[in-house]
Structure 1
Amino acid sequence: MKLRPFSDHSRGMFVSVDGPSGAGKSTIVHHLAQMLVAAGEQVHVTAEPSTGPIGQLCRELTETVTGHALACLYAADRYHHVETEIRKHTEAGQTVISDRYIPSALVMQRFDGVDPAFLWNLNAEAERPDLAVILEADAEVISERLHERGAHNRFQLSPGSSHAEVHFYRQATERLLEMGFEVLRVDCNQRPPEQTAAVIRDQLVARAAAKASSAS
């Protein structure tokens, strides 16, 4: 089935995929994109930090800039990302899949002690995805995967980081639901990445079909 967005049939769907480090986000996004393309959908894959100038700064400064300053830098990249890349592709009718988005913004700077309310307010005006996918896995599973692959940033070096990140994501998910976001939680403890991607694809197809049916 050809996917179409929930609200405006001339606009493409925007899907974000977030979850704890080691949950397999990038691999799952890759499989999801392939599945949607195979179904005839035009897909644009992106990620945060973005490849834009602010996103490049985020990558360069994540290890040295902390707290509120880093949270503001990431938020600036997010707003710029929407304006210069995401919106351009959804307005062209493409499905946009972002590897990390608002949910990650509500989690990562908490390792620096930033208040969750500040993080929410900082990101509250960012464009909402049509579907925010949250990958869920047990902290022990995440910790083992991180140990096998090695840490990618300073947040993953903190003692007990996996347990803290899983806890932060649960709280972020609750906040998103409270604020009316369309959220899909997917347990990826035992599923291989391609099966997790298939679960997301099936949900997107079902939601698009339901929306099209109610609009007709």
Structure 2
Amino acid sequence: MTPRPSSESKHGLFVSVDGPGGAGKTTIVRHLAQMLLADGEHVHVTAEPSNSGIGQLATEVTPTVTGHALACLYAADRYHHVETEIKSHLKSGQIVISDRYLASGLVVQRFDGVDPDLLWQLNEEVERPDLTIILEADPHVIAERLIERRPHNRFQLAPASSHAEVTYYRDATNALVGAGFEVLRVDCGSRPPEQSAAVIRARLTALLVPSEVPA
């Protein structure tokens, strides 16, 4: 891939990577970033909850705060994340890759019974990624991975959480597609993470090619 020509006015590219716990998001994001760096691209990797005070608070209170309150806190972190970190890197022309973003905001609080329509309303004005990646895998594969690595939060302790989360992500994906988001589904259950990253990189290739300017 030929690196894009540098330009102070060039806007970057925003990519989000979401999927059920155990899908391998962080590993795939790391491989994707390495591939893009090898192509000569400037890459900024971030994650949610963010490292801001709001994000740290969200992480700290997740075990005890539930439902609407936690959904609002995660949404606040998302808006703050965009304004204080993501936009500045996009303005400098970088490729920003976020490990979890909007799709997770449409999924996680459903374990607490929050209406998906409300979750959409809370998040509908956040920055739209240029490409939204949804990692998919058989829920039995996800469940086995969670057992191996151990759950990271209380949501993954719920009975049949992997099956529920896969269903919630399917609903979120349909909502995003219906709203006109550019979505790429990647099956990460039957291939190693570096191959999943290569699939994403292949899709990004077209987005990284500068648009032709009419004469």
**Maintained 8 Å contact 1:3/1:205:** no
The reply to whether residue 130 of structure 1 matches residue 119 of structure 2 is: no
Residue 28 (structure 2) aligns with: 28
Gaps of 5+ in 1: none
Conserved 8 A contact 1:3-1:204:
no
Question: Per-residue deviation at 1:190?
Answer: 1.0
Q: Determine if the alignment matches structure 1 residue 169 to structure 2 residue 164.
A: no
- Cα gap change, 1:100 to 1:214, in 2 (>3 Å): farther
- Give the match for residue 47 of structure 1: 47
CA distance in 1, matches of 2:183, 2:30: 20
Alignment of 1:1-216 (within 5 A): 1-2=1-2, 10-209=10-209, 212-213=211-212
Indicate the SS of the match to 2:63.
coil
**Alignment deviations for residues 149-190 of structure 1 (CA, whole Å, 9 cap, x no partner):** 101000000000000000000000000000000000001111
- For these two proteins, the number of residue pairs brought into alignment is 211
Q: Distance in 1 between matches of 2:153 and 2:211?
A: 42
- Distance in 1 (CA, whole Å) between partners of 2:53 and 2:32 is 27
Alpha-carbon offset, residue 3 of structure 1:
5.9
Could you say if the C-alpha distance between residues 130 and 196 of structure 1 is closer, same or farther in structure 2, counting changes exceeding 3 Å?
Answer: same
Question: Structure 2: which amino acid aligns with 1:116?
Answer: P
| Deviation readout 1:116-146 (Å, 9 max, x if unpaired) | 0000000000000000000000100000000
User: Percent of pairs identical after alignment?
Assistant: 68
CA pair 120-27 structure 1, distance change in 2 beyond 3 A: same
Residues in 2 aligned to 1:196 and 1:3: alpha-carbon distance in whole angstroms: 21
CA distance in 2, matches of 1:215, 1:192: 42
Cα distance in 2 for partners of 1:179, 1:103 equals: 12
Q: Taking structure 1 as the reference length, what is the TM-score of the superposition?
A: 0.94
**What is the distance in 2 between the residues matched to 1:3 and 1:48?**
28
Paired residue type of 2:203: Q
CA distance in 2, matches of 1:198, 1:78: 27
State the distance in 2 between where 1:12 and 1:215 align: 21
Q: Following the alignment from structure 2 to structure 1, what is the Cα–Cα distance between the partners of residues 26 and 131? A: 17
Quote the Cα distance in structure 2 between the aligned partners of 1:169 and 1:214.
Answer: 38
Mapped to 2, the partners of 1:37 and 1:101 lie a distance apart of 22
Cα 1:64–1:14 change in 2 (3 A) is same
